Each structure stands twice: as structure tokens, then as C-alpha cells.
Amino acid sequence: MEVPILKQGEFLIATIQAALSDADLEHLRLALVQRVVRFRARAVIVDVTAMDVMDSFASRTLREIALMIRLRGAETVIVGIQPEVAFAMVQLGLTLEGVGTALDLEEGLVYLNQKFKALN
Amino acid sequence: MFAGEIRVPINSDQDIVLARQKGRSLASEAGFSPVDCTLVATAISELARNIVSYARKGEIALQLVRDSRRSGILITASDEGPGIADLRLALRDGFSTSGSLGLGLPGVRRLVDEFQISSSSGHGTVVKVTKWRLDHREK
């Protein structure tokens, strides 16, 4: 299951469309980091609205994505974590610490636009 | 409602997704709330991942269960892998031998109502967890 990555201005948007296996998540990690370099993107939004479960592997991989992208000088925002998924994550002890989050894609874009407007 | 046991062989990371999807639909059919369906699916995902990471192959069995007062779902994760030498250590938050976050078993324990594990070095591992349906659960 390949995750489509869309370029929108200086941002990249990856929309997860179904449950992902570990291999799919690892593939997404590589694809995103490569594209941040190729497109000189300033930020990445990962939309996880369709993710059924965020277990320890998924949340670790998302954290790694955000950390790698930060090393490239860009920012990552995870959007669309469903309320049930958030509940399960907290029970499991997973926090996505240090990773930006927003309610949905729209909020994520507003957040990034404001942030980069302030910088320019 | 008691359609017997659903058994999902776990041999790869793809099977982790399959097992948790089957668990979610079984929980949903049994009338679990959306939050509890997600907790069940997440617990299955973690248990199946332990099988893939530590034992390479094993099985997740899902079964609707009932006692005198309530109904629930029983998840049995079994493998014939290397087993766990020190169960007390493995159940402690923050312990891991595979370089993962080490939240596996203690985390799963928090997601469910009952948690049972039997394992010994060289003889595989069996983890049995039960989630009771919220309206039946003991307060």
C-alpha cells in the first residue's frame, strides 16, 4: 500500500489511505525524507486520519520521520489522529513527543502557513 | 454470536494488520464501543508484533467469551519462539530486549481487563488477554 505524497508549494502532504504494514511505514519514511531533499520542502504534513491503529511501531516510525526531517531543516506535522486512536496511544504510553500535531489537514496547513509567514 | 475461534497465523508484518482487522470486526460485531474496538485492535497489533519480532511465527486466536454476567473477547497469542527468561522483567515498563520502545507487554496490559502470560526460556510464549464489553465490565 503506497502512500501518495503531494507537493503543495513548499509543503509535502502524505495522506495515509488505509492500514499500513510495518514495511509500508518504512517505505513512507524513506520516500518522505528523499522528497524533502528533492523538493527542498520546508514542511511535511502526514495525514493519519485513515489509520486504524497507532501501535508502538507506527508511532516510533512517525517520530523517526519527524526527527529525520528536522535534521533537513524542515518541520513535520501529524494530522488527523482519531479520538479512539489517541485514547489507545495514551493507554499504551505512546506520546509522539517532540512531533507537531494538528486536528486535521486544514488546521495543519493553517499552522504551517502562520509559522512560515512569521519567519518571512 | 459464538462462531467459535478465529485463528490467524502470524508469519510476517502483513499478518499483524490482518489479525488486528479481524479482531476489530469481531469486537465490533459483538457490540463493543468504537474506543474498545480500537483498544482490542491495538492490543492485537502489539501481541502479533512481539511474535514477529521475537519468535518469527506463531498464531493469534480470537474468541468471544462469556461468563455468568458479561461477554467479552479473548485474544490468545502463542508462539514457539525462544520464550521469555524473566517474566517479571518483561512486564516492567521500559524493558525491552529487541531495542524497541520496551512498552510492549506492560502497554498491552493497560489496554485490556485481564492479562495472563506463560513462558519459559526455550519453550515459547502464550499470552491470553480478555477485554470485557464496557456495559458488562466490573466497575
Is the Cβ pair B111, A56 closer than 8 Å?
A: no
| Tens-place pLDDT, residues A45-54 | 999 999 989 9
Q: Which pLDDT band, with edges at 50, 70 and 90, does A79 fall under?
A: very high
Q: What share of chain B is helix, strand, coil (3-state, %, to 5)?
A: 40, 25, 35
pTM of the full predicted structure? Answer: 0.90
Chain A residues near residue B106 by CB distance under 8 angstroms: 93
Domain count of the fold of chain B: 1
| Tens-place pLDDT, residues A95-117 | 888 899 999 999 999 999 998 88
Shortest distance between the Cα of B133 and any Cα of chain A, in A, equals 16
Is the Cβ pair B100, A56 closer than 8 Å?
A: yes
How many inter-chain contacts (A to B, CB under 8 Å) are there?
75
C-alpha cell read off for B56 = 518469527
Range of the domain at B100: 6-138
Best to test chain A binding among B12, B14, B15, B17 (most A CBs inside 10 Å): B17
The DSSP line for chain A is -PPPEEEETTEEEEE--S---HHHHHHHHHHHHHHHHHHT-SEEEEE-TT-S---HHHHHHHHHHHHHHHHTT-EEEEE---HHHHHHHHHHT---TT-EEESSHHHHHHHHHHHHHHH-
Minimal Cα distance from B21: which residue of A? A52
Phi/psi at A67 (5° precision): -70, -40
Would you state the pLDDT for residue B94?
61
Would you state the pLDDT for residue B99?
44
Is the Cβ pair B34, A84 closer than 8 Å?
A: yes
CA A67 – CA B4 distance, rounded (Å): 45
Residue B82 pLDDT more than 90? Answer: no
ipTM summary value: 0.91
- A5-119: CATH superfamily: STAS domain (3.30.750.24)
Shortest distance between the Cα of A13 and any Cα of chain B, in A, equals 24
Mean pLDDT (chain B, rounded): 87
CATH number of the domain encompassing residue B10: 3.30.565.10
Question: Is residue B76, in this structure, part of any structural domain at all?
Answer: yes
Question: Is residue B20, in this structure, part of any structural domain at all?
Answer: yes
Is the Cβ pair A21, B45 closer than 8 Å?
A: no
Question: Is residue B47, in this structure, part of any structural domain at all?
Answer: yes
Chain B residues near residue A84 by CB distance under 8 angstroms: 34-35, 37-39
Chain B residues near residue A18 by CB distance under 8 angstroms: none
- Domain extent listing, chain A: 5-119
Question: Is residue B1, in this structure, part of any structural domain at all?
Answer: no
Is the Cβ pair A87, B39 closer than 8 Å?
A: yes
Shortest distance between the Cα of A83 and any Cα of chain B, in A, equals 8
Is the Cβ pair B42, A20 closer than 8 Å?
A: no
| Tens-place pLDDT, residues A7-61 | 999 999 999 999 999 999 999 999 999 999 999 999 999 999 999 899 989 999 9
Is the Cβ pair B103, A56 closer than 8 Å?
A: yes
C-alpha cell read off for A108 = 495543519
